[in-house]
Amino acid sequence: MIPCPHCPFPRRFVSPNGPTPAPILAIGEGPARQELRYGYPFAGDSGDELDGHYLPLAGLRRPHLRVTNARLCAAQDLLNPTKSEAAACAAHHLGRELRLVQPKLVLTLGAVAASLFGVGNLDHAHGIPFQGRFEHWEGWVFPVFHPAQGIRVPTLINRIRADFQHLGECLPALLDGTYTGPVDPYPSPIYHEVTNQGELLVSLHHYPDDPPWLAIDTESDTSHGQAGAPPWCLTFSPRLGDGYLIRAANHGLLTQFSQWLAEHRPLVILHHALHDIPVLAAMGVVPPRWTDSLQMAYILQSVPMGLKPLAHRLCGMAMRDFEEVVHPHARQVALSYMADIVAEIERGSKRPHVLKSGPRKGGSELRFPPNVPDPIRSTYNRAMALSRDMAEGTTEEDGESGESKPVDPWKRWDNWKPEVRETMIALAGYSLPRPSITQVPFAEALVYAARDSDSTGRIYPELRRLSRGRELRKEIAR
The CATH number covering residue 463 comes to: 3.30.420.10
Per-residue pLDDT at 478: 44
Residue 409 sits in the same domain as residue 451: no
Sign of CA dihedral 67, 73, 75, 78: positive
Residues in the chain: 478
Q: Name the 3-class secondary structure at 105.
A: strand
Q: CB-based burial of residue 205 (10 Å sphere; 0-12 exposed, 13-18 middle, 19+ buried)? A: exposed
Determine the structural domain holding residue 32 and report its residue range. Answer: 10-176
One domain, residues 195 and 114: no
CA 296/CA 422 separation, integer angstroms: 45
Domain boundary among 176, 199, 228: 176
Kindly state whether residue 240 falls inside one of the protein's structural domains: yes
Interatomic CA distance for residues 292 and 273, integer angstroms: 6
Q: Are residues 471 and 383 in the same domain?
A: no
**Angle between the N-to-C axes of helices 322-349 and 442-477, in degrees from 0 to 180, rounded to the nearest 10:** 140
Kindly give the pairing relationship between strand 105-109 and strand 24-28: parallel
- In this prediction, residue 477 carries a pLDDT of 44
Domain stop point among 176, 198, 224: 176
CA separation for the pair 142, 107 (Å, rounded): 5
Stretches where the chain sits below pLDDT 70 are 1-11, 207, 209-211, 351-358, 360-366, 397-403, 469-478
Number of C-beta neighbours around residue 127 at 10 A: 23
For residue 184, being part of any structural domain is answered with no
Please indicate, yes or no, if residue 4 is contained in any of the structural domains: no
Q: Are residues 225 and 344 in the same domain?
A: no
- Regarding whether 452 and 390 lie in a shared domain, the answer is no
Nearest-angstrom CA–CA distance, 364 and 298: 65
**Element housing 69 (H / E):** strand 66-69
Dump the DSSP string for 442-465: HHHHHHHHHHHHHHHHHHHHHHHH
Is the domain of 166 the same as that of 232?
no
For the chain, what is the domain count? 3
Nearest to 41 by CA among 29, 54, 53, 58: 29
∠ CA 381-383-384, nearest 5°, is 65
28 neighbors 71 (Cβ within 8 angstroms): no
Report pLDDT for 354.
Answer: 56
Q: Beta strand 395-397 with 351-354: parallel, antiparallel or unpaired?
A: unpaired
Assess if residue 346 is contained within a domain.
yes
Is 138 in the same domain as 24?
yes
pTM above the 0.95 mark? no
Answer yes or no: are the C-beta atoms of 441 and 329 closer than 8 Å: yes
Cα distances from 273 to residues 287, 293, 334, 419, in angstroms, run 11, 9, 31, 39
* Claim to verify: residue 433 and residue 450 sit in the same structural domain: no
- Residues 360, 214 share a domain: no
Amino acid at 178: T
Based on the number of CB atoms within 10 Å of its own CB, is 92 exposed (0-12), middle (13-18) or buried (19 or more)?
Answer: middle
Bridge partners (DSSP) listed for residue 137: 134
CATH number of the domain where residue 111 is located: 3.40.470.10
Write out the DSSP string of 160-210: HHHHHHHHHHHHHHHHHT-------S-SS-EEEE--SHHHHHHHTTT--BT
Give the per-residue pLDDT at 328: 95
Helix (H) or strand (E) holding 415: helix 409-415
Sign of the CA dihedral with 169 first, then 174, 175, and 176 last: positive
Residues 104, 141: Cα–Cα separation, whole Å: 9
In a domain, 181, yes or no: no
204-to-35, 152, 257, 266, 291 alpha-carbon distances in Å: 60, 47, 10, 11, 19
What is the spatial distance between Cα 284 and Cα 255, in angstroms, rounded to a whole number? 7
**Are residues 431 and 460 both part of a single domain?**
no
Rg (CA), the chain: 27
Residues 153 and 212 in one domain: no
Number of H helices, E strands in the chain: 18, 15
Identify whether the C-beta of residue 235 lies closer than 8 Å to the C-beta of residue 216: yes
Q: Does residue 3 belong to any structural domain of this protein?
A: no
Q: Are residues 43 and 158 in the same domain?
A: yes
